[in-house]
Amino acid sequence: MKKELEIFTNYLSVERGFASNTLKAYKNDINDFIDFLVKSQIKKISEVNHNNITKYIEKLNNKSYKNSTKSRKIASNKSFFKFLRSENYITTNPFSEFTQPKVSNMIPDILSYEEIELLLEYSKNNNNFQGNRDSVMIELMYATGMRVSELVSLNLSNIYSSELLITTLGKGDKQRNIPVYRQVINNIELYINTYRKKYVKFETDALFVNRLGKRMSRQAFWLIIKNIASISGINKNISPHMIRHSFATHLLQGGASLKNVQDLLGHANIATTQIYTQLSNEYVKNSYQKYHPRK
């Protein structure tokens, strides 16, 4: 079964152009099902039947997973078995009758303008390498709305100072050019020329490095902003993606078009971007209630 999974992930990578993080998610979801099958004494992918899948879904339900998690796991395995059937590795697709749980379009949590300012202010508390790097990373993420994986993958060669542009590779290795304001570039250049060079002990093009001179990880940045949020008194379960949500919502609140926000975020489908209009509409509603003279 591991062999079939390797063939499938190679197909997703080479023919579909899926990004490494997406491939990792597929592998984790399908491996979870394979581990369940092994414990159920199923040794070959061709032996999987309707009953096995039903019991696996019962297992997911018993673990109290969110509908979004259950939906993703089932979708990953449906894609896997659909591929196996199309390539004749199996004669029937036992997943074909199963559907994913409905996932509501939950409105994402965001940070207010004031909370973004607090993050930036408290990240600069230490006028040293770490404080400078952290504040540059937070401001760059809020200025561009890029994913945390895109942020930590940035190289020096992705910075176009004179053009006020940052290039990044998003999902499916699609490049996009993101405009930034001058202060962002100034802060990046200060970090590179004053702080970064003191910690880079070997040749690397990585823009953001840790104290060992190695590329920053997503997990490290997540812990950093959690700590800064706690120190600054922001009582929210903050994550890097919340900064991305805030970027999109604040742009829409400021009057940006949905299409422009879609392009900046790198969404393939504008329907994905539309969730932020709910937040923007809520902002308009609150402003109306607060400022209308005859409320």
Domain boundary among 86, 121, 143: 86
pLDDT in tens, 81-131: 999 999 888 898 988 877 766 655 566 788 999 999 999 999 887 778 999
Residue 10 lies in a domain: yes
Q: How far apart are CA 65 and CA 210, in angstroms?
A: 34
What is the predicted pLDDT for the residue at 160? Answer: 94
What is the predicted pLDDT for the residue at 100? Answer: 65
Range of the domain at 227: 113-291
Q: How far apart are CA 204 and CA 73, in angstroms?
A: 37
Closest C-alpha among 43, 9, 10 to residue 27: 9
Do 128 and 235 share a domain, yes or no? yes
Is it the case that residue 35 has pLDDT exceeding 70?
yes
Do 284 and 184 share a domain, yes or no? yes
Percent of the chain with pLDDT over 70: 91
Q: Identify the weakest region by mean pLDDT among 98-107, 204-213, 261-270, 279-288.
A: 279-288
Do 208 and 272 share a domain, yes or no? yes
Give 291's pLDDT tier (boundaries 50, 70, 90). very low
Do 72 and 160 share a domain, yes or no? no
Residue 105 lies in a domain: no
The CATH code of the domain that includes 152 is 1.10.443.10
Do 76 and 127 share a domain, yes or no? no
Residue 103 lies in a domain: no
Mean pLDDT of the chain: 85
Handedness of CA 9, 10, 15, 18 (dihedral sign): positive
What is the predicted pLDDT for the residue at 292? Answer: 42
The CATH code of the domain that includes 26 is 1.10.150
Do 80 and 130 share a domain, yes or no? no
E strand segments, the chain: 159-160, 165-169, 175-179
Comparing 105 with 259, the larger pLDDT belongs to 259
Residue 92 lies in a domain: no
Residue 101 lies in a domain: no
Dig out the tokens for 39 from the structure.
């414990």
Catalytic residue among 176, 218, 226, 267: 267
Q: Which residues contact 285 (CB under 8 A, 6 or more apart)?
A: none
Comparing 274 with 249, the larger pLDDT belongs to 249
Instruction: Give this prediction's pTM.
Output: 0.64
Catalytic residue among 147, 196, 245, 250: 147
Is it the case that residue 20 has pLDDT exceeding 80?
yes
Say whether 70 is catalytic. no
Catalytic residue among 26, 122, 191, 276: 276
Catalytic residue among 59, 78, 171, 218: 171
Catalytic residue among 72, 244, 245, 250: 244
Say whether 241 is catalytic. yes
Domain boundary among 70, 86, 102: 86
What is the predicted pLDDT for the residue at 140? Answer: 95
Do 74 and 129 share a domain, yes or no? no
Do 18 and 163 share a domain, yes or no? no
CB 239 within 8 A of CB 149: no
Do 209 and 129 share a domain, yes or no? yes
Say whether 292 is catalytic. no
What is the predicted pLDDT for the residue at 144? Answer: 94
Do 254 and 142 share a domain, yes or no? yes
Residue 98 lies in a domain: no
What is the predicted pLDDT for the residue at 295? Answer: 47
How far CA 195 is from CA of 129, 237, 295, in Å, comes to 5, 30, 53
Give 28's pLDDT tier (boundaries 50, 70, 90). very high
Is it the case that residue 180 has pLDDT exceeding 50?
yes
Say whether 211 is catalytic. no
Quick one: which H or E segment has residue 138?
Answer: helix 129-144
Number of domains composing the chain: 2
Do 171 and 255 share a domain, yes or no? yes
Do 46 and 159 share a domain, yes or no? no
